[in-house]
Amino acid sequence: MLAPALTGATRVDHLLIAEMVARGSRVLDVGCGDGALLQLLADTKNVDGRGIEIARERVNACVARGLSVIQGDADRDLADYPDDAFDHAILSLTIQATRQPKTVLRQLLRIGRRAIVSFPNYGHWQVRARLLFTGRMPVTENLPDAWYVSPNAHLCTIKDFADLCRAIDARVERAVAFNIRGQRLGTWLPLTVHNLMGEKAVFMLTRKRRG
Amino acid sequence: MDTARYPDCKVDQRALETSRPSSPYIDVPADQPLQLECAQQLAPFRIAYQTYGELNAARTNAILVCHALTGDQYVASEHPVTRKPGWWATMVGPGKPIDTERFFVICPNILGGCMGSTGPASLNPRTGRAWGLEFPLITIGDMVDAQVRLLDHLGIEQLFCLTGGSMGGMQVLQWASRYPERVFSAVPIATAARHSSQNIAFHEVGRQAVMADPDWCQGRYHEFGKTPRNGLAVARMAAHITYLSEEALHRKFGRSLQDLAAKSFSFNADFQVESYLRHQGSTFVDRFDANSYLYITRAMDYFDLAAEHGDVLANAFVGTKTRFCVVSFTSDWLYPTRESREIVQALNAVAANVSFVEIESDKGHDTFLLDEPELFATIRGFLNAAATRNGLRPAAGRR
């Protein structure tokens, strides 16, 4: 998956995901890009990590740096894995670029005992403002591509994503939104505020029941 | 040998390599027969092999390289017949991706081959003549089982890595499936878990070319001092086309004429591509035995790893702890990426540790033998990561 290019150093959502992942666990990073998250998890949590990435040159770069990554497509290839193959199945800024987000999320919850999903929040005030005041598809730092080249086919807001979790019987174990400066929004703030102020969000999900 | 007819040919020397290889070898005695898949037993038999680098004290740094159809044990050293450098000298050697300053590299000549390991050109101890068509039909699995004897002899319990391209990749898959505990990591390159109908078809063309040559003598050419040069050369020419791509052929030759200003209006090799293929055919004959070619192509045709496991390829790898790195090339139409992806799917189905890299190249199947920086970077990176996991010392300063 082509995650939007993000600036500099270690991404705040990566750091949060590294917090959520247990030491030494088995991790699948779907849409692993250049392998930055897998590398971080290997370095800080000694995970047994695997990745799937759609872009061939990124896969090759990952393998050349010693990561276990396959060239593949989240929409097609998750079906190959057995149930509970991983402790954590991660979809980092990728779900919006899948063709079937609902199916992908279900697969993620099937093959991972926990799913961790991060995504850009289309309900962020900047996005709303751009659409309202310019009347054009918003282009922001988080969503840098023009509509006709963007890989993002299924953008959603934090509220939309929470609805999807309900619809597929996923339990939200933890949800964190980051503001434009990369700071975490207080969990005591109401969902509506997260949806307005959060530039991106990270959800940790489990299945309510098998199947 | 009909040396009068081919005064400068190297058949003698090739025949010499069959009986007395330049490389080391092991002789497995008659009381330790190899149980073949065709239900026969083979004993005694010989496996010729070449090694590079040094085995560490813990015996944990061994890499087994499995050669392809017409390869041999001279992976990184001069071929005793052709005097050409090793067939994978770009990949294996000091400071190379498979670094012989770090790893102990073993490359055996396969069972059925003709460079010193027992094959149809070897003497049948029961008759005192070359085996010829009396040699049992061997399989990829039999080749692997013979290699196991070599590893036992060398005292290597677990291979750090096992790699090979094409038919070498088939052996890698068979090894990893049959002896998972002896394979820490595996790199099958440009290969498939079964031979496709198209590939069987091409092989059949090659075999029929050999058999149609009157000098083949129903496989008994050794006894008559003949060799089916023309048939084997045609087989090689046809096969060689499948190792390339249309694009590579066009780039290399186009429709250029060979040392001619105009067409000769004859069946001479007017075109450069014809001349090239004829050269490939004739040089191949100098270094390869025709019956070996028949037996080895047959072994490849019979290869179907899923069929051994209830037609479910994933079953071949249940519970595997081996780290895999599967590699394919975009322009390889003999073993297309699709077939590598099937291997990856099977490995994913058992949650194996697998990397999969498709490398962009327009040079076809033979890319795995060529100077391909992306392939080198992949192998180097994978081996480094696997070595870290296996507690091997890090690579020396060189990269």
Q: Tell me whether A30 touches chain B (CB under 8 Å).
A: no
Mean pLDDT within B116-142: 96
pLDDT of the residue at A210: 57
- Which positions ≥6 away from B124 have C-beta within 8 Å? B130, B131, B134, B135
Kindly tell me if the per-residue pLDDT of B271 is higher than 80: yes
Q: Using one digit for the tens of pLDDT, what is the confidence trace for B184-205? A: 999 999 999 999 999 999 999 9
Q: Work out the angle at residue B353's Cα, subtended by the Cα atoms of residues B352 and B359, and round it to the nearest 5 degrees.
A: 115
Residue A29 bridge partners (DSSP): A51, A90
Q: Do A78 and A56 contact (CB within 8 A), yes or no?
A: no
Would the pLDDT of B397 be above 70? Answer: no
pLDDT, tens only, B353-362 = 999 999 999 9
pLDDT tens digits, B170-179: 999 999 999 9
Q: How distant is the Cα of B315 from the closest Cα of chain A, in angstroms?
A: 13
Nearest to B327 by CA among B296, B367, B362, B370: B367
- Which pLDDT belongs to residue B394? 67
The dihedrals phi and psi of B242, each to the nearest 5 degrees, come to: -70, -20
| Neighbouring residues of A159: CB distance < 8 A, sequence distance ≥ 6 | A123, A191, A192, A195
If pLDDT is split at 50, 70 and 90, which confidence band does A9 have?
low
**Which of B349, B355, B360 is the closest to A63 by Cβ?**
B355
A79 touches chain B (CB under 8 A): no
- For the domain made up of B15-198+304-389, give the CATH fold: Rossmann fold (3.40.50)
**CA–CA separation, B288 vs B293, rounded Å?**
8
- The reply to whether CATH 3.40.50.150 applies to domain A12-122+152-206 is yes
> A71 — contact with chain B (CB < 8 Å)?
yes
Once rounded to an integer, what is the mean pLDDT over residues B244-268?
Answer: 91
What digits encode the pLDDT tens for the residues B20-55?
999 999 999 999 999 999 999 999 999 999 999 999
Contact of B41 with B316, CB cutoff 8 Å: no
User: Inter-chain contact A70–B385, Cβ cutoff 8 Å?
Assistant: no
Q: What is the pLDDT of residue B13?
A: 84
Q: Which of B378, B385, B388 sits opposite A60 (nearest CB)?
A: B378
Per DSSP, B257 falls in state B
Q: Which of B325, B353, B384 sits opposite A50 (nearest CB)?
A: B353
Predicted local confidence at residue A140, as pLDDT: 86
Lowest mean pLDDT among B58-62, B268-272, B303-307: B268-272
**H helices, E strands: number in chain B:** 10, 12
Is B274 a residue whose pLDDT tops 60? yes
Is residue B149 over pLDDT 80? Answer: yes
Report chain A's mean pLDDT, rounded to a whole number.
92
Angle at B9 between CA B7 and CA B10, to 5 degrees: 135
In the predicted structure, residue B393 carries a pLDDT above the cut 90: no
Exposure class string for B125-149: b at 16+ Cβ within 10 A, else e: eeeeebbbeebbbbbbbbbbbbbeb
Average of per-residue pLDDT across B206-226: 96
Q: What is the pLDDT of residues B63-82, one digit of tens each?
A: 999 999 999 999 999 999 99
The rounded mean pLDDT for chain B is: 94
With CA atoms as reference, report the closest residue to A202 among A187, A210, A190: A187
Average pLDDT over residues A108-126: 96
- H/E element, B353: strand B353-359
In the DSSP assignment, the letter for residue B85 is P
φ and ψ of B259, to 5 deg: 50, 35
Tell me the shortest Cα–Cα distance from A64 to chain B, in angstroms: 4
Q: Where are the domains of chain B?
A: 15-198+304-389
What does the pLDDT read at residue B82?
93
